[in-house]
């Protein structure tokens, strides 16, 4: 039987961006969002300590047992999803191996996504070992938002050919729009961080016995709303300016998408607050935070980067 040498294996890997590479990049983004949603399900079903040990599920078992009940199944299922993320991240990195020098703009984000998985696993373990300390849980969520932003950049970069990566043409956004995009990105980051603090003060602790951060939920909610008001205003100005300045169609589409996500997320946030945090709306709000992060990262990427070869040919 003929054995494949490492050289023969790498020869079979892509040397340019292929549809498979683009699919893997999109899968990276979707899986990062999906694990936030399943992590939310763990929290909202009070299954945070469904597996009370780490890295084992129990002191005597790597997997959930009948005694752990449905909470053990939910928590262990969320842990299993980490292996799916790992498989996608490794496949992404392998598919880019022959481009690791020519397309570092793809290879570096792929490395970061793979490195983020064990980092998240460690933080998740600390979360369990600290009995769902709300501040540790919050950092678990924040890291997920960072990984979603990185995956969004990866998706965007995978859509470009090598010729289009040469930054020798005008950026899509004007200096004013880039400043507004920067301000919007800061407001999104502040809103997400304050949202984590609000969650840590609220009733959904992930387990009946888990501690809260002892901050006033109503006060924290009002503080959290302040950057959201500013974000809504900033995004409105961005969309109006984009139409008045006749910016590149791709940037205009990115800003409209951002506005839709911002308004939807703000509406869900207000609704869940006034309905006293029903589980379904809280889960939807967590999904919204992921989509907001992705939409903001996409808008910043599109606005700050250069026009593509195709866009320049359309202008000329």
Q: Check: CB of residue 119 under 8 Å from CB of residue 147.
A: no
Alpha helix (H) residue ranges in the chain: 6-11, 19-44, 69-95, 104-129, 134-158, 175-201, 217-245, 249-274, 279-304, 309-315
CA distance linking residue 150 with residue 110, whole number of Å: 8
CA distance linking residue 223 with residue 210, whole number of Å: 24
pLDDT (tens place) for every residue of the chain, 316 residues total: 455 566 666 778 878 899 999 999 999 999 999 999 999 999 899 888 888 888 888 888 888 888 888 988 999 888 899 999 999 999 999 999 999 998 999 999 999 999 999 999 999 999 999 999 999 999 999 999 999 999 999 999 998 765 455 444 556 778 899 999 999 999 999 999 999 999 999 888 787 778 889 899 999 999 999 999 999 999 999 999 999 988 888 899 999 999 999 999 999 999 998 898 899 999 999 999 999 999 999 999 999 887 654 554 454 4
pTM over 0.85: yes
The dihedral formed by the CA atoms of 269, 270, 276 and 280, expressed in degrees to the nearest 10: -40
Q: Domain map of the chain by residue range?
A: 15-161, 170-316
Nearest to 38 by CA among 74, 84, 1, 86: 74
How large is the greatest C-alpha to C-alpha distance in the chain, in angstroms?
Answer: 70
């Amino acid at each position: 039987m003929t054995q494949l040498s490492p050289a023969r294996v790498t020869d079979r890997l892509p040397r340019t961006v292929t549809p498979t590479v683009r699919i893997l990049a999109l899968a990276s983004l979707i899986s990062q969002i999906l694990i936030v949603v399943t992590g939310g399900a763990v929290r909202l079903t009070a299954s945070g300590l469904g597996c009370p040990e780490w890295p084992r599920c129990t002191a005597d078992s790597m997997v959930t047992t009948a005694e752990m009940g449905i909470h053990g199944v939910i928590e262990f299922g969320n842990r299993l999803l980490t292996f799916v993320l790992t498989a996608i991240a490794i496949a992404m990195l392998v598919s880019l191996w022959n481009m690791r020098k020519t397309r570092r703009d793809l290879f570096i984000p792929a490395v970061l996504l793979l490195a983020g998985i064990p980092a998240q696993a460690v933080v998740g373990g600390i979360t369990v070992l600290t009995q769902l300390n709300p501040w540790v849980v919050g950092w678990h969520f924040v890291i997920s938002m960072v990984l979603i932003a990185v995956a969004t950049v990866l998706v965007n970069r995978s859509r470009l050919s090598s010729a289009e990566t040469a930054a020798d043409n005008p950026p899509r956004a004007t200096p004013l729009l880039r400043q507004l995009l920067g301000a919007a990105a800061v407001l999104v980051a502040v809103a997400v961080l304050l949202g984590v603090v609000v969650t840590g003060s609220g009733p959904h602790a992930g387990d009946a016995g888990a501690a809260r951060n002892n901050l006033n939920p109503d006060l924290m909610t009002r503080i959290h709303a302040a950057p959201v008001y500013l974000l809504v205003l900033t995004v409105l100005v961005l969309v109006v300016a984009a139409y008045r300045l006749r910016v590149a169609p791709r940037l205009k589409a990115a800003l409209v998408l951002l506005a839709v996500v911002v308004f939807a997320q703000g509406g869900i946030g207000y609704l869940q607050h006034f309905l006293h945090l029903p589980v379904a709306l809280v889960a939807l709000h967590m999904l919204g935070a992921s989509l907001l992060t992705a939409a903001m990262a996409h808008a910043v990427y599109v606005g700050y980067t250069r026009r593509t070869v195709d866009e320049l040919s359309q202008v000329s």
